[in-house]
Amino acid sequence: MIAIGEAARQSGVSIETIRYYERERVVPAPRRAANGRRVYSDKEVGRLRFIRRCRDLGFSISEAKGLLSLSEGENSNCAKVKEIGTAHLNAVRCKIAELTALEAALEELTANCRSGSVSCQMLEALAR
């Protein structure tokens, strides 16, 4: 049973963010000590760590919440987890494709942008 600062250290979620998750009901509110301070069990720290791992993998808060409740459900429904995971994987791949297109466009624009030339290719492309 630890205080919020230690829970932050153990979970890798900042104090402010922990309180935010509580406010937004991403995780259940922990019980309070007599002095009104939050008290965390290992299980609750585990939830915070779970959410942080989801966020690190790029899942949204609501996806993370869904995965957490699947993780805590009676029947661990692997199929649903996989569905959420592959949907997100697809989204990540789309994002990569978009950024790769951007990269190519920026490469071309900046390559043609030589200091000293009369006109700036990049500005011209943007203004066209």
Q: Enumerate binding residues for DNA (CB under 7 A).
A: 3-6, 8, 14-17, 19-20, 34-38, 55, 60-62
User: From CA 62, how far away is CA 87, in angstroms rounded?
Assistant: 14
115 binds, among a second copy, DNA, none (CB under 5 to 8 A by kind): a second copy
For residues 48 and 18, the answer to whether their CB atoms sit within 8 Å is: yes
Q: Which tokens in the block code for residue 67?
A: 């995965």
At closest approach, how far in Å is the CB of 106 from a second copy?
A: 4
Output the CA torsion sign for 61, 63, 66, 71: negative
In sequence order, the 6+-apart residues with CB closer than 8 A to the CB of 65 are 26, 51
At closest approach, how far in Å is the CB of 83 from DNA?
A: 18
User: From CA 96, how far away is CA 121, in angstroms rounded?
Assistant: 26
**Residues forming a β-bridge with 31:** 39
89 binds, among a second copy, DNA, none (CB under 5 to 8 A by kind): a second copy
Residues near a second copy (CB under 8 A): 46, 49-50, 53-54, 57-58, 67, 70-71, 76-79, 81-82, 85-86, 88-89, 92-93, 95-96, 99-100, 102-103, 105-107, 109-110, 113-117, 119-120, 122-123, 125-127
108 binds, among DNA, a second copy, none (CB under 5 to 8 A by kind): none
Q: Which tokens in the block code for residue 123?
A: 């500005």
